[in-house]
Amino acid sequence: MNPLKWRREHQVALALGAAMGICVGLVIGYIYNDVHFANATLPLFLEGGSGFRWGVFGALVGGCTIYVRQLLRA
């Protein structure tokens, strides 16, 4: 099941799921790690347990949720 061969609306849903996951992950990272974006630099985001890693995790969860939904529909 290749996501690149899905219909356009399903691809958009996958992208939106990943984007929403990034937002939720960054909020969770901000709450748990107290990351302040006003004075943040790239090395701060790459430190262990930072909000950036929570954002990546959120994107994976959001994208995988849409992908599993498509697998169950097929």
pLDDT tens-digit series, residues 5-28: 888 888 888 888 888 888 888 777
Residue ranges making up the domain that contains 45: 3-73
At residue 37 the predicted structure's pLDDT band, cuts being 50, 70 and 90, is low
pTM, two decimals, is 0.64
The closest alpha carbon to 67, from 52, 59, 55, belongs to 59
| Domain tally, the chain | 1
Angle, CA of 62, 70 and 3, to the nearest 5°: 80
